[in-house]
Amino acid sequence: FFLSLKLEKKTKGKLQKQICQVVLDHFEKQYTAELGDAWSSVRDVLTSPWCWQHALLLNRFSQCPGLESSLAEQGYHPAFPAALPYLPAAFRCYIRRTPGRFPAEKHQPGKLKGYYLLNAASLLPVLALEVKDGEDVLDLCAAPGGKSVAILQCACPGHFHCNEYDDLRSRWLEQTIESFIPDALINLIMVSKLDGRQIGDLQPEFYDKVLVDAPCSNDRSWLFSADPQQAVLRLMQRKELSSLQFQLLSSAIKALRPGGSLVYSTCTLSKAENSDVINLILSSCRNVMPVDISEMARGVSQEFTFLGGTQRHELLVLPEKGRAWGPMYVAKLKKMSST
């Protein structure tokens, strides 16, 4: 026990040193104004990596005998209740209330991994998208690939297009797909490195479902920027992100068939990158309607804490101790028929 306490102190000291003060100061000002009283408990979680939690998304394409019973012995339980409006039987995710990380599996060419470690909140955009077998699906900003893998745990799309503009991240995406998806299915997947802002013009009205997991200010990782100068640069460029997000969303709407739906998500608390972007799209695109996702939010409210006062078509997961998931913003829109 004393050894683990000592280790925890050592880890705390190590991690404490790495918090980037310039980012924390910036967040302090912005999020106190935007989140009010909720910010202090969120800040406590974001600045304390030893209380972060990890979920396991099981891979339906890989048999791991005994994995589920072993997880149950270690206090893990299914993350999503069967009562959700959309929860395919093959979609299995395990979490536990206590922090700590299940060992990651190494990449082995030719061998599929049994599970994907992730922040459980990042599965909410996938569940909100409600992909059905045979649909044409676009994951517009797909790296590192966790959401693409999760979509394939839910359904078998007719055509699945995973796009990642950044070269390094695109290679990471390809490796993720190789690690989780059997060759027979990989043939259904097209991985591209296009500028997401152009896909709508290149493939107008081609997709039934589009996921826009947009580049954003990643609150968790930005707080631990090792290089203060890079952090200052990031904070200066932060103002330009909402314009990029708006352009990506506009492109996604063009790529959608009439009647198709899209989900927009980020891993930031920032209002400018979340509801402001969605409100701008809703006011500037007359053929787009918000879709109510409050039933899904109610269904998972035991495991996730949400910011109050949001619209019915959006949710914002706030990390708190014991439920350290998020930040994750999710909004759902539908493209109306052109008539």
Residue 239 in any domain: the answer is yes
- 3-state secondary structure at position 170: helix
Rounding to the nearest 10 degrees, give the CA dihedral for residues 238, 243, 248, 254: 170
Q: What are the tens digits of pLDDT across the range 49-91?
A: 999 999 999 999 998 899 999 999 999 999 998 889 999 999 9
The predicted structure's pLDDT at residue 17: 54
Is 147 labeled as ligand-binding? Answer: yes
Cβ distance 28 to 43 under 8 Å?
yes
CATH code, 114: 3.40.50.150
Is residue 312's pLDDT more than 70?
yes
210 class by beta-carbon count within 10 Å (0-12 exposed, 13-18 middle, 19+ buried): buried
Looking at the domain assignment, is residue 139 inside a domain?
yes
Q: What is the pLDDT of residues 121-151, one digit of tens each?
A: 999 999 999 999 999 999 999 999 999 999 9
Has 272 been labeled as part of a binding site?
no
**Mean pLDDT over all residues of the chain?**
93
pLDDT 10s digits, 268-278: 999 999 999 99
Residue 136 known to bind ligand: no
Q: Is 142 annotated as a binding residue?
A: yes
- Catalytic-residue membership of 285: no
15 falls within a domain: no
Cα distances from 101 to residues 96, 237, 318, in angstroms, run 10, 33, 20
Q: Which domain covers residue 167, as residue numbers? A: 24-335
CA atoms within 13 A on the CB side of 116: 30
Establish if 3 belongs to a structural domain.
Answer: no
Let me know if residue 174 belongs to a domain.
yes
Whether 19 maps to a domain, the answer reads no
* Span 219-223, average pLDDT: 95
Whether 18 maps to a domain, the answer reads no
51 marked among binding-site residues: no
Burial of 328 (0-12, 13-18, 19+ CB in 10 A): buried
Which residue among 51, 156, 267, 285 is the active-site one?
A: 267
Tokens 């990642």, residue located: 164
- The domain tally of the chain equals 1
Question: Are 161 and 207 contacting, i.e. CB atoms less than 8 angstroms apart?
Answer: yes
pLDDT at residue 10, as a whole number: 45
Q: Quote the pTM value.
A: 0.93
Band (pLDDT 50/70/90 cuts) for residue 31 is very high
